[in-house]
Structure 1
């Protein structure tokens, strides 16, 4: 199951409050690029009837059916990558021993400010 750390949840709640999206859910999406890397995206959105709906650390999260398999065992965290530089990262719990390597994500609302100034990151590759 997709999970959210308490640090990520806190930042998501702050971003929702700052952008007036407190009544919206956080939509998570993913895709596999031709090189096998997985790109993650997220942004505030209204749930659809067919979405998987989760309440994680007090954050309403929705995932479309087409992304559920890619997002199984993924953890969304909010970490300090370098002194003073915080970012969201996605960690694949199926790949033990991986060290997160944040990278820009496609889709979602992060690059357009959907999750405040925290940005997004992706980790790992599918093999």
Structure 2
């Protein structure tokens, strides 16, 4: 039975499907390891808990949709932070290094560059802290 579960998940993955698996026993461990994302019940066996990506407290399977939603929101915030960091660094570092000075006579005072870098970091941290409000 464990091999059949694992083979079924593998067949879905070969069709380019994302596969999730929830389980609580030793016989679920191979399938949990095969799944793209796996959930174990905290009331299950140690093997299932160790193998799974997420452990659901109190064995509450209804929390799976919450976990997936929280993961999606978190990934969006990570992408926003990366976009901001790359955008800031692509503009600010060459500006502070004087790359644009010969062309447009624009430069950035090192003190202002330091303040801007601090503000950029605060922006990323503040955006990350929004997760506390977004994920409930």
TM-score, with structure 2 as normaliser? 0.21
Higher-RCO chain (CA-CA 8 Å, sequence separation at least 6): 1
Rg comparison, structure with higher value: 2
Instruction: Report the structure, 1 or 2, having the larger strand content.
Output: 1
TM-score, with structure 1 as normaliser? 0.22
Instruction: Report the structure, 1 or 2, having the larger helix content.
Output: 2
